[in-house]
A and B are shown apart, each in its own frame.
Chain A
């Protein structure tokens, strides 16, 4: 069964460093998302992406964040200068099309900023 794949599963980085979290959505899906879950808290929406551009972004998604679909298969989330409070689980999700209700989530990348 097709699935959303995220790499790495765990990333440790020093404060101030740039990180790139990678996602491979399901191949025929058109809508892509990043969500974040700080440990013990609820899952929060970061950004949605369609037709090679951002559709919607939350207040969390400030100038330190960017997304890209560089090669038609990968979907990346970049944090330019990480802060301690960026430590969280980051989930990528994809959805097939406008009529499809279900978003499929990846297994997540645990980001630890030290």
Chain B
């Protein structure tokens, strides 16, 4: 069974600094998708960034980028120039490609605090 592990329950970063959130996963599949979701206090789940496993190039979205290490099954999220609005719970997530409607498997989350 696929699993997603986030080993950092909480992290803090000074505003304008850079922070990296860690995620590892376990799967026997060769093709899959990985995601980072943000959950602010409003509790809505917002997609931050996604990575297709067959792509070697790391995904980037403005201040957000990932370090995808397929062999190590590692998928970390880097947030540059941290802003107060980045304070939220961040979930790493996995989805298989093979089945048409496969579920998303979430990690336990990392709560990110931004220090002014």
Residues of A with Cβ closer than 8 Å to B?
31, 33, 35, 37, 41-45, 48, 50, 55-56, 58, 89, 91, 93, 95, 98, 101-108, 110
Contacts and interface: CB of A to CB of B under 8 A. Distances in A.
B43 A89 contact: yes
Majority SS at the chain A contact face: strand
A50 B108 contact: no
A102 B50 contact: yes
B101 A50 contact: yes
A89 B105 CA distance: 16
Contacts of A89: 43
Given A31-B101, A50-B101, A105-B44, A43 B91 contact: yes
B103 A43 contact: no
Contacts of A98: 100-101
A107 B25 CA distance: 26
Nearest to A55: B101
A93 B93 CA distance: 14
B107 A42 contact: yes
A25 B104 CA distance: 17
